[in-house]
């Protein structure tokens, strides 16, 4: 009996301690949030630092860190940006968890990330419910900002959207390469891949082209010989592969092994140094991608960025994800400046009003769906190096 009583007292003490601990942490949390007075504004980064598309997340992080260093030299009206990073492991459910941690635990004013459409969609609802804006540097799916015809007020992006990228690829194929018979190979587990393919086929058919073969695979597949053999049998003039580098690298390699030597086109999902390692330099010749940016662009703003980036990262040449990560921070910083505070809702209003902001990846204006209107570049792989081919402006 006595023993039980002691245990009861002990347990109630534990409970009280738990409640008190809860109190103290929540009060300190709100203090930080209303802060910004303290001189810092917290910015979250929810990125793919490991897993299948780790290369995107790592590149964006480098760009984000460079931009934050530059901005913190002067500060935004005397305030500095503080970066809190979480790794979503290229996994949608981890991305949801990561966003939840950034919003509820770290009380960030805005989130940068995730890199892919699927991982970004996974955080969209949480950001919306908690009224915290997020900017995806490279989530190109149109569903990120507008889902079922309804705009998510807190969703923003720095890159152009899938329909535009698919259209540019089809335009380039018909006008510059003068080829009309296309085979399409889609990653059926990815919203990004399906989005690009849909607009590509749409434009191609309207302009006298023809899709002779359509095959599919799912992410993490390693053997594409069967699909490619089927594609080969239909004699296409070129192949459109809107996928991510991990599978695309293998597809390109296996296609060349099977003697499919036609041009191949892809989107920004190809943009990774790993692609060259997977496919091999020779196999990648005669392939083209649509992208946001090229380090070979002669624009002075681009060249200034390339110089600053090389200085910070031991002479490494920045890729499009570096540029988009960098631009996302400037996009956000511009909005924070106009909002005049670190309040997430004021930042949201300011982001939506962005018009004519000059960034490395082009002059940016947001349309009513929070989608940027800006230019795209076409790059060609030559001996494993990306060569700037041409720039395509929106209509």
Nearest Cα to Cα of residue 95 among 146, 139, 34, 62: 139
Nearest Cα to Cα of residue 165 among 314, 376, 380: 376
Phi/psi at 341 (nearest 5 deg)?
A: -165, 175
CB of 270 to other proteins, least distance (A): 14
CB of 196 to other proteins, least distance (A): 18
Binders of other proteins in range 54-83 (CB under 8 A): 54-55
d(Cα 210, Cα 206) in Å, to the nearest integer? 9
Angle between helices 117-130 and 92-100 (to 10 degrees): 30
- How many residues in the shown chain lie near other proteins by CB under 8 A? 32
Listed in sequence order, the DSSP H helices in 101-190 are 117-130, 162-172
d(Cα 369, Cα 146) in Å, to the nearest integer? 7
CB of 112 to other proteins, least distance (A): 21
CB of 338 to other proteins, least distance (A): 38
Name the DSSP letter for residue 177: I
CB of 293 to other proteins, least distance (A): 24
Binding mask 255-294 for other proteins (x = CB under 8 A): --xxx--------------x--xx-x--------------
Tell me the window of 17-25, 246-254, 289-297, 333-341 that interacts with other proteins (CB under 8 A). Answer: 246-254
CB of 232 to other proteins, least distance (A): 8
The DSSP code sequence of 36-64 is STTSEEEEEEEE--SSTTHHHHHHHHHHH
CB of 51 to other proteins, least distance (A): 5
Binders of other proteins in range 169-188 (CB under 8 A): 188
Tell me the window of 48-56, 175-183, 335-343, 361-369 that interacts with other proteins (CB under 8 A). Answer: 48-56
CB closer to other proteins out of 325 and 372: 325
Q: Which residues pair with 378 in a beta bridge?
A: 290, 390
Query: Where would I find the beta strands (DSSP E) of the chain?
Result: 40-47, 80-87, 110-113, 134-136, 146-147, 150-151, 155-157, 181-187, 210-217, 238-240, 264-266, 287-291, 355-359, 362-366, 372-373, 376-382, 385-392
Contact residue for other proteins among 253, 301, 338, 389 (CB under 8 A): 253
CB closer to other proteins out of 266 and 372: 266
Binding mask 113-152 for other proteins (x = CB under 8 A): ----------------------------------------
Which own/partner pairs from 356-359 qualify as long-range (CB within 8 Å, at least 24 positions apart)? 357/330, 357/331, 358/301, 359/158, 359/301, 359/327, 359/330, 359/331
Burial of 318 (0-12, 13-18, 19+ CB in 10 A): buried
Contact residue for other proteins among 216, 219, 262, 352 (CB under 8 A): 216
Pairing of strands 155-157, 146-147: unpaired
d(Cα 264, Cα 289) in Å, to the nearest integer? 8
Dihedral over alpha carbons 18, 21, 27, 29 (to 10 degrees) = -100
Binders of other proteins in range 303-322 (CB under 8 A): none
CB closer to other proteins out of 88 and 322: 88
Binding mask 84-113 for other proteins (x = CB under 8 A): -----x------------------------
Contact residue for other proteins among 250, 284, 332, 359 (CB under 8 A): 250
CB of 188 to other proteins, least distance (A): 6
Length reported for the chain? 395
CB closer to other proteins out of 232 and 312: 232
Binders of other proteins in range 218-237 (CB under 8 A): 218, 220, 222-223, 225-227, 229-230, 232-233
Please say whether the beta carbons of 247 and 221 come within 8 A: yes
User: Under the rule (CB under 8 A), what is the footprint of other proteins?
Assistant: 50-52, 54-55, 89, 188, 215-218, 220, 222-223, 225-227, 229-230, 232-233, 246, 249-250, 253, 257-259, 274, 277-278, 280
């Amino acid at each position: 009996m006595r023993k039980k009583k002691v245990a009861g007292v002990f347990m109630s003490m534990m409970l009280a301690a738990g409640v008190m601990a809860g109190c103290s942490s929540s009060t300190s949390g709100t203090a930080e949030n209303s802060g910004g007075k303290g001189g810092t504004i917290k910015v979250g980064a929810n990125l793919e630092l490991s897993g299948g598309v780790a290369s995107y997340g790592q590149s964006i992080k480098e760009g984000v860190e460079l931009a934050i260093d530059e901005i913190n030299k002067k500060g935004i009206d005397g305030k500095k940006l503080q970066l809190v990073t979480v790794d979503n492991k290229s996994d949608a459910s981890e991305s949801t968890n990561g966003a939840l941690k950034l919003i509820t635990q770290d009380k960030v004013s805005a989130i940068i990330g995730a890199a892919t459409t699927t991982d970004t969609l996974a955080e969209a609802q949480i950001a919306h419910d908690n009224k915290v804006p997020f900017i995806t540097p490279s989530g190109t799916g149109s569903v990120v900002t507008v889902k079922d015809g309804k705009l998510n007020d807190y969703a923003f992006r720095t890159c152009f959207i899938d329909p535009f990228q698919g259209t540019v690829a089809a335009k380039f194929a018909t006008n510059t390469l003068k080829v009309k018979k296309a085979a399409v190979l889609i990653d059926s587990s990815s919203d990004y891949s399906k989005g690009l393919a849909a607009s590509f086929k749409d434009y191609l058919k309207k302009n006298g082209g023809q899709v002779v073969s359509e095959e599919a695979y799912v992410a993490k597949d390693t053997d594409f010989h069967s699909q490619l053999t089927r594609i080969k049998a239909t004699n296409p003039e070129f192949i459109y592969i809107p996928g991510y580098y991990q599978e695309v690298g293998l597809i390109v390699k296996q296609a060349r092994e099977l003697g499919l030597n036609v041009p191949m086109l892809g989107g920004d999902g190809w943009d990774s140094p790993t692609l060259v390692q997977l496919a091999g330099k020779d196999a990648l010749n005669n392939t083209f991608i649509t992208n946001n940016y090229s380090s070979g662009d002669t624009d002075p703003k681009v060249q200034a960025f390339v110089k600053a980036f090389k200085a910070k990262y031991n002479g490494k040449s920045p890729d499009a994800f570096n540029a988009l990560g960098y631009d996302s921070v400037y996009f956000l910083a511009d909005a924070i400046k106009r909002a005049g505070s670190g309040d997430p809702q004021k930042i949201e209003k300011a982001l939506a009003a962005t018009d004519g902001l000059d960034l490395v990846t082009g002059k940016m204006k947001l349309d009513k769906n929070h989608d940027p209107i800006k230019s795209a570049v076409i790059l060609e792989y030559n001996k494993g190096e990306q060569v700037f081919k041409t720039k395509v402006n929106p209509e």
